[in-house]
Structure 1
Amino acid sequence: MNRRALLTSLAVAPLIAGCRRSAVASTPRGGLPPLRTITPGAFGTCVQVANLTDPAWLDLARTHVSQLTPEWEMKMEYILADGLDRLRLDRTDRIARFAADNGMALHGHTLIWYSQGQEAFAGLDNAAFDRAFDGYIATVAGHYRGKVQSWDVVNEPILDDGSGLRDCHWSRRYGQDGYIRRAFDEARIADPEAVLFLNEYNLEGVPAKGAQFLRLVERLLKAGCPLQGLGTQSHLWIDIPDGQIAAFMHELAQFGLPIHVSELDVSLRTDSALDLRGQQYRLSLQTARVTELAEVYMRLPAAQRFAFTTWGLRDTDSWYRRDDKDDGKDRPLPFDAAGQPNPMARALATAFQT
Structure 2
Amino acid sequence: MRADPPGLNRRALLAAPLALAACDRLASARTADGPLAPPLKALAPFPFGATGMTWQLDQPDWVEQTLRHCSQLTPEWEQKMERTLGPGFSYDFEPSDRVVAFAHHNGLRVHGHTVIWYSQGAEVFDDAQLSRARFAAEYDRYITTFVGRYRGRMAGWDVVNEPVAEDGNGLRDCHWSRALGMDGYMVRAFEQAKAADPEAVLFLNEYNLENIPRKGATFLKLVERLLKLGAPIGGIGTQSHLDIEIPAGQITAFMRDAASLGLPIHVSELDFPMQRDGGRMPDLRSTAERRAQQVARVGELAEAFMALPEHQRYAFTTWGLRDTDSWLVRAEGKNRPDESALLLDARGGANPAFHAVAEAFQR
| Contact preservation (8 Å) 1:40, 1:307 | no
Q: Return 5+ residue gaps in structure 1 as ranges.
A: 5-28
Structure 1 residues 49, 31: CA separation in 2 closer, same or farther (over 3 Å shift)? closer
1:273 to partner: Cα distance: 4.5
Q: Which residue of 2 aligns with 1:66?
A: 71
1:348 to partner: Cα distance: 1.3
Does residue 1:312 correspond to 2:320, yes or no? yes
Q: Deviations over 1:264-291 (max 9, x none)?
A: 0000012434221111210110010100
Q: Deviations over 1:221-260 (max 9, x none)?
A: 1122100100000000110100000000000000110000
Structure 1 residues 338, 32: CA separation in 2 closer, same or farther (over 3 Å shift)? closer
CA RMSD of aligned residues (A): 1.4
1:329 to partner: Cα distance: 2.2
1:323 to partner: Cα distance: 3.5
Tell me, in whole angstroms, the C-alpha distance in 1 between the residues paired with 2:319 and 2:2.
15
Q: Which residue of 1 aligns with 2:236?
A: 230
Q: Which residue of 2 aligns with 1:195?
A: 201
| Contact preservation (8 Å) 1:231, 1:259 | yes
Q: How does 1:196-211 map to 2 (within 5 A)?
A: 196-211=202-217
Does residue 1:93 correspond to 2:102, yes or no? no
Q: How does 1:287-306 map to 2 (within 5 A)?
A: 287-306=295-314
Tell me, in whole angstroms, the C-alpha distance in 2 between the residues paired with 1:83 and 1:248.
42
Pick which of 274-283 and 106-115 moved more. 274-283
1:82 to partner: Cα distance: 4.6
1:190 to partner: Cα distance: 0.6
Out of 153, 169, 177, the residue aligned to residue 171 of structure 1 is 177
Structure 1 residues 49, 198: CA separation in 2 closer, same or farther (over 3 Å shift)? same
Q: How many equivalent residue pairs?
A: 329
- 3-state SS of 1:267 partner: coil
Q: Deviations over 1:5-58 (max 9, x none)?
A: xxxxxxxxxxxxxxxxxxxxxxxx936321111213200001110110111100
Q: Which residue of 2 aligns with 1:121?
A: 125
| Contact preservation (8 Å) 1:32, 1:349 | no
Q: Match for 1:69: what amino acid?
A: T
- 3-state SS of 1:197 partner: strand
Q: Deviations over 1:103-162 (max 9, x none)?
A: 100001111000001111122211111110000000000001122121000000001100
Does residue 1:47 correspond to 2:55, yes or no? no
Q: Which residue of 2 aligns with 1:265?
A: 271
Q: Match for 2:104: what amino acid?
A: A
Q: Deviations over 1:40-90 (max 9, x none)?
A: 320000111011011110000010000011111101000013541x31110
Q: Deviations over 1:312-345 (max 9, x none)?
A: 0111111111147645321001111122111122
- 3-state SS of 1:339 partner: coil
Tell me, in whole angstroms, the C-alpha distance in 1 between the residues paired with 2:41 and 2:2.
29
Out of 139, 154, 172, the residue aligned to residue 160 of structure 2 is 154
Tell me, in whole angstroms, the C-alpha distance in 2 between the residues paired with 1:244 and 1:97.
39
Q: Return 5+ residue gaps in structure 2 as ranges.
A: 5-33
Tell me, in whole angstroms, the C-alpha distance in 1 between the residues paired with 2:287 and 2:250.
23
| Contact preservation (8 Å) 1:336, 1:342 | yes
Q: Match for 1:106: what amino acid?
A: V
Does residue 1:244 correspond to 2:271, yes or no? no
Q: Match for 1:255: what amino acid?
A: L
Tell me, in whole angstroms, the C-alpha distance in 2 between the residues paired with 1:260 and 1:129.
31
Q: Which residue of 2 aligns with 1:339?
A: 348
Give the 4+ runs in structure 1 shifted more than 2 A: 1-4, 29-33, 323-329
Q: Which residue of 1 aligns with 2:10?
A: none
* Percent identity of equivalent pairs: 55
Q: Match for 1:127: what amino acid?
A: A
Tell me, in whole angstroms, the C-alpha distance in 1 between the residues paired with 2:185 and 2:191.
10
Tell me, in whole angstroms, the C-alpha distance in 1 between the residues paired with 2:315 and 2:190.
20
| Contact preservation (8 Å) 1:230, 1:259 | yes
Q: Deviations over 1:296-316 (max 9, x none)?
A: 100100000000000001111
